[in-house]
Amino acid sequence: MGSHRRLAPSGFDRGAAAALCVMSAAAAALGAAPADAAPHGGTKAEVDRLYQQAEKATEAYDKAGERAHTLRRQINDAQDRIARQQQRVNTMREQLGSVAGAQYRSGGIDPTVALLFADDPADYLDKASTLDRIGAQQAGQLKELRSALRDLSQERAEAAGKLAELEKSRKDVSTHKRAVEKKLAKARQLINSMPAAERAAYERASRGGTRDLPDLTGVVAPDARAAAAVAAARSALGRPYVWGANGPSGFDCSGLMQWSYAHSGIHLPRTSQEQRHAGRRVPLSQAQPGDLVVYRSDASHVGMYVGHGQVIHAPYPGAAVRYDPVGMMPISSVTRP
């Protein structure tokens, strides 16, 4: 890829800027096939539309999956806290029970302690505080037990709420998965319906990521973290787009960004909608290698700027991770993690 020297302050060389100026506003989100063998415009446009919808559903799938993962972790933590709190309650009850045993051996059980064995401990706690025979030590123990039981009840209620939310997230994951699979299956049917020459041209365009590599001579990342992220993204060139995947053998668009930046010690959120807020916004004219370029008004696609007007991204199913012009589709923002 040639030697690497520092970028001009603008982030683009004049050649790249000129190229951006003449880019067609109708540049396809999935890249263009050779002009002499382009697929039928209507069919390709419909395939592109389906892939865009599938990508949006994939982002929703990723978000629901990440939420489910977070909830599972929170539920595990809550279960640990509940177990510890239950042990604390059990210990306190044992201590109060020993008082009951001592009173029984000395001639009877104090009514305040006898209530420990009532069917409704909450009712016991409410009544115990009003009894006039309670001792100071027992009063402190009863107050502490009341607080512990309330904390335990609250923990259980919160855990139950998270379990319900987790179930909803699981259903959301399943719903989005079906939506993605439906869109992809329809797109594949359309591609298969193309005449052989047009289909071959489309497939060649999809595999274009490892051929005709752009000249990035003189490009260098602004710092070590960005350099590590760019190097990781470059190492992924040629690996397949796999919806819902974040490496290392396959990626969706935001999964590639998350995986690449993990190599620099930075944890990005899972979806492109969240990644656009994962740093400082910069103008496109000041883009530097490692910046995240977020596309479309709904932020449903993301790539990594690597210099000279090029991004690396995971385009769509059937296509490998590849280079494409930064202006390949409408840009909504540029973020510097």
Q: What is the CA radius of gyration of the chain?
A: 31
Q: Is residue 147, in this structure, part of any structural domain at all?
A: yes
In the chain, pLDDT over 90 holds for what percent of residues?
28
Query: Contact, 244 vs 253, CB < 8 A?
Result: no
The answer to whether residues 192 and 231 belong to one domain is no
Q: Is residue 189, in this structure, part of any structural domain at all?
A: yes
Query: Max alpha carbon distance in the chain (Å)?
Result: 105
The answer to whether residues 315 and 291 belong to one domain is yes
191, 206, 221 — which closes off a domain? 206
pLDDT in tens, 148-185: 778 888 888 888 887 787 788 777 777 877 877 888 78
Range with lowest mean pLDDT among 49-63, 65-79, 130-144, 319-333: 130-144
Q: How confident is the model at residue 54 (pLDDT cuts 50, 70, 90)?
A: confident
3-state secondary structure of 292: strand
160, 183, 206 — which closes off a domain? 206
What is the pTM for the complete model shown?
Answer: 0.56
State how far the Cα of 16 lies from the Cα of 197, in Å rounded to an integer.
32
Q: What is the CATH number of the domain that holds 81?
A: 1.10.287
Q: Is residue 24, in this structure, part of any structural domain at all?
A: no
Number of domains in the chain: 2
Judged by phi (left if over 0) then psi (alpha if -120 to 50, else beta), residue 308 lies in left
pLDDT in tens, 182-200: 887 888 788 888 888 877 7
- Told to judge if 313 belongs to the known catalytic residues of this protein, a careful annotator would answer yes
Q: What is the CATH number of the domain that holds 312?
A: 3.90.1720.10
300 class by beta-carbon count within 10 Å (0-12 exposed, 13-18 middle, 19+ buried): buried
- Told to judge if 21 belongs to the known catalytic residues of this protein, a careful annotator would answer no
Amino acid identity, residue 318?
G
Q: Is residue 298, in this structure, part of any structural domain at all?
A: yes
Q: Domain range for residue 44?
A: 39-206
pLDDT in tens, 243-262: 788 889 999 999 999 999 99
Rounded to the nearest angstrom, the gap between the alpha carbon of residue 189 and the centroid of all alpha carbons in its chain is 30
List strands edge to edge, sheet with 331-336: 280-281, 331-336, 292-295, 301-307, 310-313, 322-325
The answer to whether residues 188 and 45 belong to one domain is yes
Q: Is residue 33, in this structure, part of any structural domain at all?
A: no
Instruction: Name, in order, each residue with C-beta under 8 angstroms of 81's C-beta and a sequence gap of 6 or more.
Output: 155
Q: Is residue 274, in this structure, part of any structural domain at all?
A: yes
Q: Which of 4, 69, 176, 253 is catalytic?
A: 253
206, 225, 260 — which closes off a domain? 206
Q: Which of 323, 328, 268, 331 is nearest to 299 (CA)?
A: 331
Q: Is residue 6, in this structure, part of any structural domain at all?
A: no
The answer to whether residues 281 and 183 belong to one domain is no
The answer to whether residues 137 and 253 belong to one domain is no
Residue 100, pLDDT above cutoff 60: no
Query: Contact, 55 vs 180, CB < 8 A?
Result: no
State how far the Cα of 84 lies from the Cα of 110, in Å rounded to an integer.
29
Q: DSSP class of residue 240?
A: B
Q: How confident is the model at residue 5 (pLDDT cuts 50, 70, 90)?
A: very low
Q: Which of 69, 176, 301, 308 is catalytic?
A: 301
The answer to whether residues 313 and 165 belong to one domain is no
Q: What is the pLDDT of residue 2?
A: 40
Place of tokens 């382009």: 38
Q: How confident is the model at residue 11 (pLDDT cuts 50, 70, 90)?
A: very low
The answer to whether residues 168 and 227 belong to one domain is no
